[in-house]
Amino acid sequence: MTPAMGRYRAIMTETDREYISNAGDVEKNKRHQSISRVRKRINEELPHDIDVLEEHHPELLEELRDVVCEGRADD
């Protein structure tokens, strides 16, 4: 199984990760577009997700906060 198969994305797609990390020969424009997409997800989509979790599943919101604020889940 490849890393992308059977996995869900968080804020970045595999392509976003590749472009933002400058893996391979990435055009500057593609990198900029990926950065813009991720920024939009952080600023526009994530707040809505947080609101839903806060109201309907606060334990899951706490897990998210733990990962974002304190480190990675696999540490």
Give how far Cα 59 sits from Cα of 3, 8, 23, 54, Å: 28, 20, 36, 8
pLDDT tens-digit series, residues 21-37: 987 778 999 999 999 99
C-alpha span between 53 and 67 (Å, rounded): 15
pLDDT-based confidence at residue 1 (cuts at 50, 70, 90): very low
State the average pLDDT for the chain.
88
Rounded to two decimals, the pTM is 0.75
Task: State residue 24's pLDDT score.
Answer: 72
Q: Contact at 8 Å (CB) between 38 and 27?
A: no
pLDDT tens-digit series, residues 45-62: 999 999 999 999 999 999
Q: Which of 57, 49, 58 is nearest to 10 (CA)?
A: 49
